[in-house]
Structure 1
Amino acid sequence: MDRRIGGKGGGSDKGGGTLVAAIVLAIGTAAAGGATLGGGAALSGAGGPGQVRMAEGVTDSLAGESLGVRTQQGKRAARRGDADGAWNRLGVRALRQRVERGAECAAASFGQVQTFFLRTPCRSLDRMLLAVGDGKGNDVLVSVAWVGFRDRSTAREFTEVIDVHGSGDIRPLAGGLTNFADVAFTGHHYHSEIRGEHVTIAETERLGGHLDAGLLQSVAEVASMLPRP
């Protein structure tokens, strides 16, 4: 679900120094020429956000569909494990990603979220930092966390804490992507999804270009449906 207003502080209390290193120069340079960012990850051009800028490879019929419709289509594709198809429905493509498995939940969190983990340890935590964009400088940074608990009831209790805006957060991955600028995750573009005893948390922020809040929210909703890596 989306974040509710509540708790103290702004955003996810990101003002306390939760910054991640985000791709800026590398995306712009590599997307223009199809270059790689190291590690064998290639960048490719795509379309853009909302109903105005569309990926070059997306059919004309997509331009006539609302963002809400395309978001639902993207979420269905993500549930099937078709990440490329999911991003295509939003007019963007994956540019680069980093995954970390097996983190310790309390150490990787802060605020009331960390307090919850200290009282109720999680069973697993995997995180991903992902950049998506249209190859024209309109780029989004996505943070995704997959958290496992002992049962669905505990998973639901966790969302009652983390879904409150200002309650703390799971720290996004930092580093591992070249040529960074600091980007703070505010928690304004956020979505959580419960699947059995697992919770997926996704947040987005603009890296560059012109992106409306609706697209940033749609990217978060689609990302929350991606299967654990």
Structure 2
Amino acid sequence: MARRIGGAGGGSDKGDRKSNVVAAACVLALGTAVAGGTTLGGGAVLSGSGTLGGSGIASGSGSVSGSSFSQSLRTRTNQARTSARKGDADTAWKRLGLRSTKKTIRRDPECVGASFGQVRTFFLHTPCRSLDRVLFTLAADGGTVLVSVAWVDLPSRQSTREFVDLIDVHGSGDIRPLGAGLLGMADVTFTADNYRSRSLGTTVTIAETEPASGRVDAAVLQAAADVASELPRP
């Protein structure tokens, strides 16, 4: 599942409550402008259908090329997820135009020491049975993607559901991703902006991605997280 908004931030970075309030205000103002056909300045007007009048035109779904890219990416992501579920990671990443490069793996017998926030509190009264974490990089056009995946084994299906309900809320804490220094890279803060969780039986998979260098499209970052959540436990 994607993360629900329920706090000031999430993932490895607790976030800035003030910035979230400002962003929410901007969204509210934009929504009002769209509904009323308010002029935004520079001769551009947003109509109720989301078109820009005056100096430029844009539909609510973006440009034709942008829409085509989104549809293509969704198709390729679904195909990549299927490959990942079969354990064919190389093919999965290739479908997204990515290539795996560096990788490190760590296995822990417990989760308290590898977590923080409400997630850590959860593990204090409901210990996990095991934790596997992987950190790896993906070479992309124009940049590098850092991917963190954690597999948490819970004691029961009920505790699994409770854990998913908790960790899927932004700001509830997280399983700490392995440090990028293990790959010989500068540290990268995981924000959980590109996040996906998946549960199967009593195992929960948590995948997060961040740009490590260059410029990587946000949609590609989320697609990589979606696919990574399907990878089998190492």
TM surpasses 0.5: yes
Structure 1 Cα separation of the partners of residues 213 and 128 of structure 2: 35
Structure 2 regions of 5+ residues with no counterpart?
A: 16-64
Secondary structure at 2:112's aligned position in 1? coil
Indicate yes or no: 2:216 matched with 1:217. Answer: no
Secondary structure at 1:176's aligned position in 2? helix
Native 8 Å contact 1:125 1:147 kept in 2: yes
What amino acid sits opposite 2:164 in the alignment? T
Structure 1 Cα separation of the partners of residues 11 and 133 of structure 2: 17
Q: Identify which of 118, 121, 126 aligns with 1:120.
A: 126
Native 8 Å contact 1:13 1:167 kept in 2: no
Q: Identify which of 72, 90, 93 aligns with 1:87.
A: 93
Structure 2 Cα separation of the partners of residues 119 and 225 of structure 1: 28
Structure number with higher relative contact order (C-alpha < 8 Å, ≥ 6 residues apart): 1
- Kindly state the Cα deviation for residue 143 of structure 1 after the two structures are TM-superposed: 0.5
Structure 1 Cα separation of the partners of residues 104 and 117 of structure 2: 25
Q: CA RMSD in A?
A: 1.9
Report the structure, 1 or 2, having the larger helix content: 2
What amino acid sits opposite 1:3 in the alignment? R
Indicate yes or no: 2:172 matched with 1:173. Answer: no
Structure 2 Cα separation of the partners of residues 208 and 121 of structure 1: 36
Structure 2 Cα separation of the partners of residues 219 and 157 of structure 1: 26
Indicate yes or no: 2:162 matched with 1:144. Answer: no
- Kindly state the Cα deviation for residue 13 of structure 1 after the two structures are TM-superposed: 5.5
- Kindly state the Cα deviation for residue 208 of structure 1 after the two structures are TM-superposed: 1.6
Aligned to 1:74: 80
Aligned to 1:96: 102
- Kindly state the Cα deviation for residue 12 of structure 1 after the two structures are TM-superposed: 2.7
TM-score (norm 2): 0.73
Q: Identify which of 148, 160, 166 aligns with 1:161.
A: 166
Structure 1 residue ranges (4+ consecutive) displaced by more than 6 angstroms after TM superposition: none
Native 8 Å contact 2:119 2:173 kept in 1: yes
Aligned to 2:4: 4
TM-score (norm 1): 0.75
The equivalences for 1:8-47 within 5 A come to 9-12=8-11, 14-15=13-14
- Kindly state the Cα deviation for residue 65 of structure 1 after the two structures are TM-superposed: 6.5
- Kindly state the Cα deviation for residue 5 of structure 1 after the two structures are TM-superposed: 0.4
- Kindly state the Cα deviation for residue 93 of structure 1 after the two structures are TM-superposed: 0.6
Structure 2 Cα separation of the partners of residues 64 and 189 of structure 1: 16
Bigger radius of gyration, 1 or 2?
Answer: 2
What amino acid sits opposite 1:109 in the alignment? S
